Structure 1
């Protein structure tokens, strides 16, 4: 099974830390959307989309990448990191639905944040993502893989 995760990880690299933990344990391709604007994702069985939260949404870089590159009728999952609260998934879910893709699940956790006035107080969510967050992300990914395998088995019956 071929799996890719397209991601944007800015500021403190919180999202990349989550993805590195997943990649340590699983065979998955990672695409940094700041380095790759256009690519063919049609050969992947599962496509992950990951970003930090910026003004209560996934990064604009990832949103644009998804609009331009996500093929239709794919199985997709979302991962996000956040300082104050999780990103609104409405926009990303709408894009996924418009492309007739199936959302397998979402995972989110806190991440160190010093954006804007938070810098004045030394930031929030220091030390996050922590080991428990990384374990949670790996477990989430494991469930995504297991669920996809079950879907494949059902389709073959």
Structure 2
């Protein structure tokens, strides 16, 4: 199955580490949001992954905008991933929900979500050495690998 990952990763490169592991398993190409047109992505790829760090409770605006520019895609699959300073607790703050809402309106079939902690030096955290130093770690990346393997099994 042709696969692509659209990933916005800044500062520490946390999300790109996760994208590379998932991409290796799926055989996916990896692009930044501005490097691929959303309409072309839907034409060329059957499975599309979207990921970024979490900024104030949401994916990076470039990922949200990319998703909003997708045409309808009833026969395409999508997965979402993120890294964040805080854990994803759906009852309190479901980081992925805004993106899922956009994608479901476009007709994409969601095949999975992945999130893990990422090293965060934002704002005042820099003064104390940040939070989640060393994350994503080997365990996080192994979880990302298993996540991608599960997607392959689901779509086989």
Q: TM-score, normalised to structure 1's length?
A: 0.88
Aligned to 2:59: 58
Cα distance in 2 for residues equivalent to 1:70 and 1:110: 31
What pairs up with 1:1-157 in 2 under 5 angstroms? 1-33=1-33, 35-36=34-35, 38-39=37-38, 40-41=40-41, 42-69=43-70, 71-73=72-74, 74-86=76-88, 88-149=95-156
Q: Mark the CA change 1:133 to 1:70 in structure 2 (over 3 Å): closer, same or farther.
A: farther
Deviation string for 1:69-122 (max 9, x for gaps)? Answer: 365212111110011233621210110111011111101000100111111111
Cα distance in 1 for residues equivalent to 2:50 and 2:72: 13
- Aligned CA RMSD, in angstroms, stands at 1.5
Structure 1: tracts of 5 or more residues without a match: 150-157
Cα distance, 1:65 vs structure 2: 1.1
Aligned to 1:154: none
Count of aligned positions: 148
Contact 1:37 1:65 in 2 (8 A): no
Structure 2: tracts of 5 or more residues without a match: 89-93
Q: TM-score, normalised to structure 2's length?
A: 0.88
Deviation string for 1:14-37 (max 9, x for gaps)? Answer: 00011122334441111111x425
Q: Mark the CA change 1:37 to 1:100 in structure 2 (over 3 Å): closer, same or farther.
A: same
